[in-house]
Amino acid sequence: MTNFIDYVSGIGPLEWVGVAGFICYIVAFGSVQLGKLDGNSTAYSLTNIVAAALVAMSLFAEFNLASALIQSSWILIGLTGLALRANRSWPAAREVLDTTLENGAS
């Protein structure tokens, strides 16, 4: 147990950032598994992007190529999913905006 305490007491700020990313990943995945969050939701995508960014930041303390590739892929895929979701919802949002502007102008 003292080895664990010694290890934790020596963790630097960037490693704690990575731990925060780990917690984001676990909370998001656990929420999906428990039915509290939709795996196709914007919230899930954003949580995973934040988690990956935090873990990627921790790699500045101790670089690992495999982890860097995984985190950058996770971020890229998450951002692509958000962009596609926004693109699909834009026509409906544009219609509401146009209707609102027309009603406000009369």
Number of separate domains in the chain: 1
Range of the domain at 83: 2-105
Q: How far is CA 96 from CA 27, 35, 100, in A?
A: 34, 31, 6
Q: What is the mean pLDDT of residues 16-21?
A: 97
List CB contacts of 24: < 8 A, sequence separation 6 or more. Answer: 47, 48, 50, 51, 54
Give the helix, strand, coil percentages of the chain, each rounded to 5. 80, 0, 20
What is the reported pTM? 0.81
- Give me the pLDDT at residue 105, please: 62
Assign 34 a pLDDT band (cuts: 50, 70, 90): very high
| 53-82 tens-digit pLDDT | 999 999 999 999 999 999 999 999 999 999
Backbone angles phi, psi at 40, to 5 degrees: -105, 10
* Alpha-carbon gap, residue 30 to 101, rounded angstroms: 42
